[in-house]
């Protein structure tokens, strides 16, 4: 569920709360060769709806990556947690995130949070030195 229904929140007068859902992000979000998602991205956040119908969400996107170490090509898996902080205004031309017709579409904010948290490398261990050549390498 990638939407927040502002009309429903106003009707229920539940101006703060928690939401969570899963999002199957496209593999094209991953910038590292030979790496894929282990499953859907978990999206979890708290929201606060203000009197002017702007809404703030604060939470995380978390997901697993699996594939080959970027340096030595050993199989590797990693968990990534990124921040999801977004503010939505009830108008379309808002520079950050806008919404219309009482429904906030979270897709862009969630995708931005995933992209911002995506690592450029995935390593089997922090100090991985890559493939060793046993002194045979001639460079």
Rounded Cα distance between 7 and 3, Å, is 12
Mapped onto helix, strand or coil, the DSSP state of residue 59 is strand
Is position 32 an interface residue for Zn ion (rule: CB under 5 A)?
Answer: no
Is position 122 an interface residue for Zn ion (rule: CB under 5 A)?
Answer: no
Residue closer to Zn ion by CB (options 42, 71) is: 71
Rounded Cα distance between 76 and 53, Å, is 44
The site for Zn ion, by CB under 5 A, has a size of: 6
For residue 68, the minimal CB distance to Zn ion (Å) is 8
For residue 116, the minimal CB distance to Zn ion (Å) is 25
> What letters, b where the CB count within 10 A reaches 16 and e where it falls short, cover 119-136?
eeebbbeeeeeeeeeeee
Residues in region 65-104 near Zn ion by CB under 5 A: 69, 71-72, 74
Residue closer to Zn ion by CB (options 19, 72) is: 72
Q: Which segment (6-14, 28-36, 102-110, 117-125) binds Zn ion by CB under 5 A? A: 117-125
Find the helix or strand (DSSP H, E) in which 8 lies: helix 6-12
Rounded Cα distance between 35 and 33, Å, is 6
Binding residues for Zn ion, rule: CB under 5 A, are: 69, 71-72, 74, 124, 128
């Amino acid at each position: 569920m990638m939407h927040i229904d502002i009309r429903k929140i106003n009707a229920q007068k539940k101006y703060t709360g928690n939401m969570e859902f899963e999002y199957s992000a496209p593999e094209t979000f991953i910038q590292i060769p030979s790496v894929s998602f282990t499953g859907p991205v978990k999206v979890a956040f708290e929201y606060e709806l203000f009197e002017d119908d702007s809404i703030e969400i604060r939470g995380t996107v978390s997901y697993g990556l699996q594939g080959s170490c970027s340096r030595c090509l050993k199989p590797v898996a990693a968990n990534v947690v990124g921040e999801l902080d977004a503010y939505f205004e009830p108008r379309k031309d808002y520079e950050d995130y806008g919404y219309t017709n009482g429904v906030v579409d979270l897709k862009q904010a969630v995708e931005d949070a995933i992209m911002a948290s995506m690592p450029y490398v995935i390593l089997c261990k922090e100090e991985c030195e890559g493939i060793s050549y046993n002194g045979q390498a001639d460079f």
